[in-house]
């Protein structure tokens, strides 16, 4: 599976603690045009200390697992 982002895998990315601890799915994604920073949040409101800094690669690895799980339940294998 190819890395689907134009940005480098080590691009600074903000995620909330819920996604970091896999307590919530990614429901809100934003990409800041100015500094290129990504944000992946669960859609709830957060305190500043609930925002965590990871790499884009980290989110990709997480999302890859989530996508796989989703496909697993909906795809019929021939």
By the criterion CB under 5 A, which residues form the site for Zn ion?
16, 18, 42, 44
Closest distance between Zn ion and the C-beta of residue 26, in Å? 9
Which has the closest alpha carbon to 57: 9, 17, 23, 24?
9
Looking at the Cβ atoms of 14 and 16, the one nearer to Zn ion is 16
> Residue 41 CB: number of other CB atoms within 10 A?
20
Looking at the Cβ atoms of 44 and 61, the one nearer to Zn ion is 44
Looking at the Cβ atoms of 3 and 27, the one nearer to Zn ion is 27
Contact of 59 with 40, CB cutoff 8 Å: yes
């Amino acid at each position: 599976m190819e890395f689907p982002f134009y940005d480098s895998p080590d691009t600074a990315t903000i995620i909330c603690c819920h996604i970091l601890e896999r307590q919530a799915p990614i429901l809100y994604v934003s990409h800041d045009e100015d500094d290129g920073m990504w944000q992946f949040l669960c859609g709830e409101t957060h305190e500043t200390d609930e925002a965590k800094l990871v790499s884009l690669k980290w989110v990709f690895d997480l999302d890859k697992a989530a996508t796989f799980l989703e496909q697993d339940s909906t795809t019929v294998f021939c």
